[in-house]
Amino acid sequence: MDDKTSLRYQLWCAWSGPAFLLTFIVFWGILGTNLPAPVSPSLNPHDVTTRYLGSWTEMRIGFGLSLIAVVLYLPWTAMLTVQMARIEGKFPVLSLLQLLGGGLTVMVVSFSAMFWAVALLRPDRDPSQMQLLNDTGWLCIDLQYACTTLQMYAMAAVGLTDKSSKKLFPAWVCWLTIFCGTSFFPASLTGFVTTGAFAWDGIGSYYFPYFCWLCWYGIASLYMIAEIRRRTTSPTLQAVPVAYPSSLPV
């Protein structure tokens, strides 16, 4: 593949970041009724069922489409991996950790939406089962945040060691990434509390860390797109090959 074609595909992958950001907010957040507030863990089975059935059509559409749109996170993660590996050089271990973290993030988000889609499949489902599926979906996405945190830490570590004249990410973006990755830690409490700031609908475990995650994602996407555009317009900076693990000495 020639450099021009490769850079075009790279740009598409980087633009899948803003596409994921938009579709996630619309499908998972608004249509899925997780915005402005998700189904509270303090609700009894009857109230949970009432909430689901009250937005039955919107939630089915939202979670169904979010399960498709979440794959946009994968080409974005792959593009970030390539950009990081170019910085790391011969042994891109942090780049691969970021790749694994991004792939697992897709699975975590997908499984949570799948549990909610299952809850919506049968409107006559027993309320206790509806509550169980709702609980499972939320604990799935909240208690397994560590894969996303790992992805963000790996990106920040590589960004802070970037010695090139045109850095992929400025230092402030890397430190912001570490802060945003750490903001997920309070979500570990969602498995223990059902009310307050650290319940899954609280500011400490939902609004603040999710805002930080999407904020980081949007900022990182802009810098990734800018880097590819710079290579596209520069006569000396082209698609640089990456050293893959299979090429490393045994």
What percent of the chain stands above pLDDT 90?
87
Four-point Cα dihedral 206, 211, 214, 219, nearest 10: -160
Q: What type of residue sits at position 23?
A: T
Residue 111 has pLDDT above 60, yes or no: yes
pLDDT of residue 198: 97
Provide Rg for the chain, Cα atoms: 20
pLDDT of residue 134: 98
pLDDT of residue 236: 59
pLDDT of residue 26: 98
pLDDT of residue 1: 80
Confidence label for 241 from pLDDT (cuts 50, 70 and 90):
low
pLDDT of 118-170, one tens digit each?
999 999 999 999 999 999 999 999 999 999 999 999 999 999 999 988 999 99
CA-CA distance, 213 to 172, in Å (whole number)?
Answer: 16
Mean pLDDT of the chain: 93
Contacts of 94 (CB under 8 A, 6+ apart): 84, 88, 154, 157, 158
pLDDT of 213-225, one tens digit each?
999 999 999 999 9
pLDDT of residue 117: 97
pLDDT of residue 227: 94
Residue 85 has pLDDT above 70, yes or no: yes
For the chain, give every domain's residue range.
3-233
Average pLDDT for 231-240: 66
pTM reported for the whole predicted model: 0.91
pLDDT of residue 235: 62
- For residue 164, how many other CB atoms are within 10 A of its CB? 8
